[in-house]
Amino acid sequence: MDSELLKKIIDSVEDTKTAPVGQTRQQGCNITEFVGSGMGDTVGLVIANLDYHLHEKMKLDPKFRSIGIVSSRTGGAPHVMSADEAVKATNTEIVSVEFCRDTKGGAGHGSTIIFASEDVSDSRRAVEILLTNLERNFGDVYGCDAGHIELHYTARASYALNKAFSAPIGKAFGITVGAPAAVGLLMADVAMKTANVDIVTYASPAVGTCFSNEIIITFSGDSGAVRQSVLAARDVGLGVLRGMGQDPQSLTKPNL
């Protein structure tokens, strides 16, 4: 994550803070499908009645007519965490979570998340909730010129985390991410050794990621143990980046 990219992300946070929920500077957008935007160059859209042929190609359940779509240039796990809150609060299903090699040239991912619902109002509300939660979930992403780390924790995983990371629904769940990948591997090792947690997924530059320069693990277990492992991984990840002569900063405000 270079200094120019970090500045762009922080600038986008400031834009989001000064605008109403679901809106940023694109307040003049008169496209019906436009819901709003957020940090990480994120856009939220809704389609009230998806074209039949697209519906078929996307293999959606016939009962769903409407979809909500969120795509970002920067951020993967913060968006999934936000989507998890959205699906808990609305009558929608997560039908797709995809990560892409992006971050506008940085070390990580961009993402696309699709909600589906029978009523368009549910899809719209899910997108609004996701956008609202982004700033909070970017709080435990720390960036600097040399790389970045991410930490995410929830006491109760739901369907978005299950779709993206095979999280056991209803259980405490943690995610650690480190870039360059060596940082992520050390964070993973520390997380697994710190408390009694069960690893769920492991992803590296060539396996499980879109060739991002990251190592990512997810794990579940007792709420206290998962949180303890996430915090231990954070401390060692920040320590390594600082050892590289960097000053990693939260992109918004830390939660953990």
Of 19-23, 181-185, 191-195, which gets the smallest average pLDDT? 19-23
User: Is residue 137 a contact partner of residue 149, using CB atoms and an 8 Å limit?
Assistant: no
Question: How does residue 99 score in pLDDT terms, banded at 50, 70 and 90?
Answer: confident
Percent of the chain topping pLDDT 90: 76
What digits encode the pLDDT tens for the residues 150-169?
999 999 999 999 999 999 99
Considering the entire predicted model, what is its pTM? 0.85
pLDDT at 22 over 80: no
Structural domains in the chain, CATH included, are: 4-138 (3.30.70.1710), 143-250 (3.30.70.1710)
Question: How does residue 10 score in pLDDT terms, banded at 50, 70 and 90?
Answer: low
Of 1-15, 75-89, 116-130, which gets the smallest average pLDDT? 1-15
User: Is residue 152 a contact partner of residue 174, using CB atoms and an 8 Å limit?
Assistant: yes
Of 64-68, 75-79, 111-115, which gets the smallest average pLDDT? 75-79
Residue 176 forms beta bridges with which residues?
A: 151, 217
Identify the residue with better confidence: 105 or 19: 105
Tokens coding 227: 């949180």
